[in-house]
Structure 1
Amino acid sequence: MLYSLCNNIKYTIRWHLESAAIFFYLFSSIIAPFVGIFLFLILIFSPLFLFGWGYLLWFYYDCRTPERGSRPNPNIRKWRLYRLIQSYFPITLIKTADLSPENNYLIGTHPHGVLAFGPFISLCTDAAGFDQLFPGIECTIATLRGMFWFPIRREQVLLMSNLIAVNKESIDFYLNQKSKGRALAIVVGGANEVLTAHPHTYNICLKNRKGFIKAAFRNGAHLVPMFNFGENDYYSQLPNGKGSIVHGIQQLIKKIITYSPTFVLGRGFFQPLIGYMPRRRPITCVMGKPIPVERNPNPTQEQVDELHAKYCQELTELFEKYKLRCGAKLSDHLCFY
């Protein structure tokens, strides 16, 4: 009886710690950017304004860091915060092939989902076992440059995530260091895929996304497809098909800030029925086998199209092979747009 009671207490504490970790992730992703701006303005127009101007000088001095590999810290990848987020869903990383430390890699990860929990936890942290599955490989994710323009919050991003900016300069710098064994992940679908992140759907924005193919050629980085089963399942969205009012609002805001707001519905902090916490749905990130790419600074359009087609084929085969094992149905197939 006492043993059972202790187990129940332990489970309850763990459950709430996991929820608190998710709440922190949501706060950091959605609210912290605006809190940072608010705090910065207060600092500028307060008796402590010298600190505000000092930070502004630091901001200017340090503004190139996201294009210069960020601030990697292997110890941060092992924080317990990330293990709590991993066990909340839970998030699992499956390895299908070795990644040799003698090469560099460009990982295309699909789909984006609403908040990309799977890619972030499996690639930017070691909570899902990346360091054990792929020893000798240093990995991070490239994200929107705008993420690094929010004062104060940018310091949190650089400290806690090691994210870099997703632009040509940043990608080339990261993949052109003397040391090999670097893997850079790009959530290829980006903001467009956020809008189609409905449960049990597999719409992948990839048909005209070829910039990452050119980046692989330019840097001689082997391409690796990765699919995140369950990434679309932890939130429901308001109906936002083309022509709907919701879709129109989202597209308008996207043109202004390059990112689309989502109107989502999940679970509550203390109850499972309604709220803005993501539902506890398993996310399985399957890393495919590398596609060898020879360095070619100026590939022809035909070469780009050929490698893109091969990548799409490898991603499709990866999905079909693992879909039944990872919660999808036999009738489910990828739909590229």
Structure 2
Amino acid sequence: MKFAPLFVPWQRRMQTLAVLQWVLSFLILPPMCFAILIGLLFTRFWIFSVLYSTWWYLDWDKPWQGGRVIPIIRRCSLWNYMRDYFPASLVKTAELDPSKNYLAGFHPHGIMVVGAVLNLCTESTNFTSVFPGIHRYMLMLDVWFRIPFFRDYLMAGGLVASHKNSASSLLRKKEGGNLLVIAIGGAKEALDAKPGKYKLLLKSRQGFIKLALTHGTSLLPIFSFGENEVYDQVDNPPGSWLRWVQLKLQKVMGISLPLFHGRGIFQYSFGFLPHRRPITTVVGKPIEVQKVLQPTQEEVDQLHQLYIKELSNLFEAHKLKFNIPKDQHLEFY
């Protein structure tokens, strides 16, 4: 086992701490939130649980209605330390018109969509300066927004419930300037997130294409280089018993359970922290879409193929910068 040096710069300690809080926020914070809400009922602070529960009931639909962004959360210095841990960076290839709305596909999903969190949900890479006038939101599984306290934390960063009504509420705004991000491959694609692999679940995903057509919203391909490199995963080829179990659980719970591992807090050999490997999220050029209230399957297929082509072109144009072999191409399923 390879242990971390006893004495390292304070900056690196802070970077590790920032990533640790982020990982733990998904591993232990949800059950803790329920425990706090219920536990307070049996103390002299029971009124706080009652007041929050009332607020929670009245505010229940907010994640499905555009959420509630809190800029100070996005600008928190903790995200800067997390950015420098990998490090993560954002690359623009084209301007975005703030008078228009955009529907972006984020690829690949990876294990924990690190690139999307840092580059699109925080200000750690200066998104607002890079794309002035653009307000970004990202879809996340509904189940996370049913957790007290945690739901408010997620919405503060621009995360909204993954539902057609939620997406439509943002894309139909006439004033424009909204960027809605969807990790197209979702939880199922996470099962193929392995270093050196570029396998994307996209052929059967056409819902976002229909959404773009019905709203006349420009499509925006985004590829995050290094996303699959930060974690290793137990081998689970299609047809194996492990993949079979994971797919069954994914259908029941809505979330997949990839058996991933990275490094530890005080050693580099094994643990649940991601590896320190660069992540570069490249935002492609918009694909203009004409509004069609009731698109035919032919129109959907045509735009879907165009999107796949533009995403492939984006990958091919930048892959050599990240030491990806020339004969390596995206694989779609």
Distance 2:98 2:8 in 1: 39
Alignment of 1:162-241 (within 5 A): 162-241=158-237
Give the Å deviation of 1:331: 2.0
Q: Which residue matches 1:302?
A: 298
The separation in 2 between residues aligned to 1:58 and 1:129, in whole angstroms, is 33
Moved more, 221-230 or 44-53: 44-53
Aligned residue among 249, 259, 267 for 1:253: 249
What secondary structure is seen at the aligned counterpart in 1 of 2:250? Answer: helix
Q: Select the residue among 292, 309, 312 that pairs with 2:308.
A: 312
Q: Which amino acid aligns with 1:63?
A: W
In the TM superposition, what is the alpha-carbon distance from 1:47 to its structure 2 partner? 5.2
2:73 corresponds to: 76
Tell me the equivalent position of 2:3: none
- Residue 24 of structure 1 corresponds to 21
Q: Where does structure 2 lack aligned partners over 5 or more consecutive residues?
A: 1-5
Q: How many residues align?
A: 329
2:112 to 97, 110, 115: 115
C-alpha contact (below 8 Å) 2:188/2:247 kept by paired residues: no
User: Deviation of residue 52 (structure 1)?
Assistant: 2.6
Greater displacement, 238-247 / 207-216: 238-247
Indicate which of 326, 329, 332 corresponds to 2:328.
332
How many Å apart are 1:19 and its aligned residue? 0.5
Residue 264 of structure 1, aligned match among 242, 260, 265 = 260
Q: What corresponds to 1:280 in structure 2?
A: 276
- In structure 2, distance between residues paired with 1:80 and 1:164: 23
Which stretch shifts more, 246-255 or 137-146?
A: 246-255
1:333 maps to amino acid: H
Tell me the alpha carbon deviations over residues 110-158 of structure 1, each in whole angstroms, 9 at most, x when there is no partner: 0000000101111111212211221111112111111101122212222
Counterpart in the other structure of 2:126: 129
Shift of 1:198: 0.7
- 1:265 offset after TM fit, Å? 1.4
Amino acid in the other structure paired with 1:170? S
Retained in 2: the 8 A contact 1:89–1:282? yes
1:51 correspondence with 2:48: yes
The match for 2:35 is 38
Separation (CA, whole Å) in 2 of partners of 1:72 and 1:48? 28
| Distance in 1, Cα, partners of 2:299 & 2:230 | 38
Question: Is structure 2 residue 137 aligned with structure 1 residue 140?
Answer: yes
Separation in structure 2 between the aligned mates of residue 290 and residue 86 of structure 1, nearest angstrom = 26
SS of the residue corresponding to residue 324 of structure 2 reads coil
2:28 partner SS: helix
What secondary structure does 1:184 align onto? strand
Taking the aligned partners of 1:236 and 1:202, their CA distance within structure 2 comes to 14
How many Å apart are 1:10 and its aligned residue?
11
Amino acid at match of 1:89: F
Using the TM superposition, name which of 103-112 and 214-223 deviates more.
Answer: 214-223
1:50 positional shift:
4.1
Deviation at 1:97, TM superposition (A): 0.7
Cα shift readout 1:46-73 (whole Å, capped 9, x = no counterpart): 5544433332222111111111211123
Q: Is the 8 A contact 2:188 2:250 kept in 1?
A: no
Q: 1:268 touches 1:277 (CA, 8 Å); kept in 2?
A: yes
Matches of 2:196 and 2:26, distance apart in 1: 24
Distance 1:293 1:267, change over 3 A: same
Structure 1 position 291, deviation (Å): 0.3
2:49, 2:300 → 1: CA distance?
A: 47
Q: Is the 8 A contact 1:70 1:164 kept in 2?
A: yes
For residue 281 of structure 2, what is the amino acid of its counterpart? Answer: C
How big is the alpha-carbon RMSD for the aligned residues of Structure 1 and Structure 2?
1.8
Counterpart selection for 1:150 from 136, 147, 152: 147
